[in-house]
Structure 1
Amino acid sequence: MTIGSQIAWDDTVLPFQLDASGIRGRVARLDGVLDQVLKQHAYPPVIEALVAETALLTALIGQAVKLRWKLSLQVRGKGAARLIATDYYGPTADGEPARIRAYASYDAERLEETDNPFSQIGEGYFAVMLDQGEGMTPYQGFTPIAGGSLSACAETYFAQSEQIPTRFSVAFGRSTEPGRPAHWRAGGMMLQHMPAMGGVAADQGSGEGGLLTHADILSGADSENWTRANLLLDTVEELEMIGPSVEPTSLLVRLFHEEGPRVFDAQPVRFGCSCSADKVVNTMSIYSQKDIAKMTTDAGIVTADCQFCGAHYELDPKTLGFEGTIAKGEQAE
């Protein structure tokens, strides 16, 4: 491999299972896809870090669910970082990559440069949304912003909403590898205990604000196995997680060789957006021609920009809205 060439395990999510512990997991490495997500916008470093962590969590969670279409994460806060939104689209066919996109909204005047980007979110909520496509009822789950990191919020979500003990260990930052320009890299691991029998009331947790933790869900041998796996994960180093010198398979062997690690086929991940002119037209179908006239520029067009990828659309106002020619099934002149 020459300097500057893509490493085989970059932009992939590797599923695995620890047969001796009843624990499953994922290892993710994001390199080029994360750079593509972030280069669509000129975010301050603090916002870049929040987007990087959310994108990494999205890749780990998205690959772990049976997904027919789209999984979304949203982080909404009352602080300077108002919104972090990500989408993960499952592969459309065997061997095809999954796609991921992300964007952020923030108040630049209130934003502080800090080593703790999480502090810029403030009070708010962490949401997981699952849309399996046409004919299926979308699912939404929420948990408060708490725990000191977005990873901790994701762990709380799974404990509260799914009662599945879950652990994330993530690392991300700007890489300065020799022979390559500075670019963003991220790596992370997700552990999940197989679902336990029974349940615990959501308001009887021992965590912050009464939220559930793994200790409220597991007991006996399951708890011991989970604690042991977490202690082993605690020994991981940031460079092992991000790479590029340690393969995910080698990392799993180092951490969990006594737990019987077994890996499955890796899932490639790419940057991808689902926006289109047709979707913009459909979004505007709720407006009257009077409303459309207010959106029309002096040049006589209606413009729209995708918040995720920056695509720019210019549309004929006569075709838009429920009174437009497209809605009526007519041909625009």
Structure 2
Amino acid sequence: MTFGTQITWDDSVLPFQLDNSDIRGRVARLDRTLEGILAQHDYPPVVEALVAEMAILTALIGQTIKLRWKLSLQVQSKGPVRMIATDYFSPSKEGEPARLRAYASFDREKLGKGRPFDQVGEGYFAILIDQGKGMTPYQGITPLAGESLAACAEAYFAQSEQLPTRFSLSFGKSTEAGGTEHWRAGGVMLQHMPKASPLAKGQEGSGESGLLLAGDLIDGEDGENWNRANLLLDTVDDLELIGPSITPTDLLVRLFHEDVPRAFDAQPVRFGCTCSEDRVRQSLSIYSAKDIEKMTTQDGRVTADCQFCGRHYDLDPKSLGFEAQEQSDGKA
């Protein structure tokens, strides 16, 4: 793979807060990380765009989870793009980069020529958080709504978390002077700090099919501050989000200087997959010898491919399942 010039603030997520408002947020840029994700597959451009959007959303949302936790975003739909899945692995300790991976499942023959989101049909948007061994994973689901994956994420936070949330994203292929064309993505996420909702319990929101929207959750001075921040965010352009000239901190000052933005330490992000032979063996350990036999190829092997990174595993069926005759090292 050939990449363009590395920019200091690429592949990082910068958290911030607006001191004069109860609003926090993140600014993210993905370059080599996104290129690493997309280089694992031969996606049509329309699918690449959806994976790029999902990846930048995941980076923005994932920065909030604790060390050693895992955050997953999933879209399941009845459209040509059946699934988009992303995983964000937080660092095991402070100072290390987070890892991000993604893939999409789609029906190539049914893909249309419209907007990327037009390839996603009726379905749901889900966020899952795995806190580690001994902890029950958290899962929240909302119907797909709006005209983008970002709108689906905003609806999720309003409906499932009752947190007013806004995303402004840009993603696409970029060519720097002397470089080759490659994918870049950038975005800003705004989120109002938790407040009691002005809606009565059980009251429908103003969104599609009664879903809650950010404006349903805050009013008064908080609502004014939120609306002002959103109007300012509307003025951002693509070059400010993914271009090489404006730093994330300069962007925050340009947009929100009246609200006194305060930036914190940036979190580096890298493409990374956690698949391994041991994990494949563990996933197959629940199957009997008969089940393993059904998975065995004519060549007498059991094979598996990682959907995220494309790594291929070739295993001896005798060493698989809970009735395994021998260990992976060949010992009885």
Q: TM-score interval w.r.t. the shorter chain?
A: over 0.9
1:43 pairs with 2:18: no
Listed one character per residue, the Cα deviations across residues 284-315 of structure 1 (whole Å, up to 9, x for unaligned) are 11211111112112222111110000111111
d(CA) in 1 for partners of 2:326, 2:16: 49
- Identify the residue that residue 291 of structure 1 maps to in structure 2: 291
Counterparts of 1:136-215 in structure 2, within 5 Å, are 136-198=135-197, 200=199, 201=201, 204-215=204-215
**Structure 2 gap ranges (5+):** none
Q: CA-atom RMSD, angstroms?
A: 1.7
Counterparts of 1:1-333 in structure 2, within 5 Å, are 4-66=4-66, 68-114=68-114, 116-198=115-197, 200=199, 201=201, 204-325=204-325, 332=331
d(CA) in 1 for partners of 2:34, 2:139: 25
Q: How far off is 1:72 after superposition?
A: 0.2
**Structure 1 gap ranges (5+):** none
SS at match of 2:331: coil
d(CA) in 1 for partners of 2:216, 2:160: 13
Aligned length: 329
TM-score w.r.t. the length of structure 2 is 0.96
Moved >6 Å (runs of 4+): none
Q: How far off is 1:316 after superposition?
A: 1.1
d(CA) in 2 for partners of 1:198, 1:118: 30
In the alignment, is the contact (CA less than 8 A) between 2:86 and 2:100 conserved in 1? yes
Identity of aligned residues (%): 67
Relative distance call for 1:62 and 1:259 in structure 2 (3 A) is: same
d(CA) in 2 for partners of 1:279, 1:265: 33
Listed one character per residue, the Cα deviations across residues 77-135 of structure 1 (whole Å, up to 9, x for unaligned) are 10100000000000111110000000000001101133x10011110100001111101
Listed one character per residue, the Cα deviations across residues 33-76 of structure 1 (whole Å, up to 9, x for unaligned) are 00000000000000000000000000000002335320000011
In the alignment, is the contact (CA less than 8 A) between 1:55 and 1:102 conserved in 2? yes
Which shows bigger deviation, 59-68 or 272-281?
59-68
d(CA) in 2 for partners of 1:99, 1:73: 14
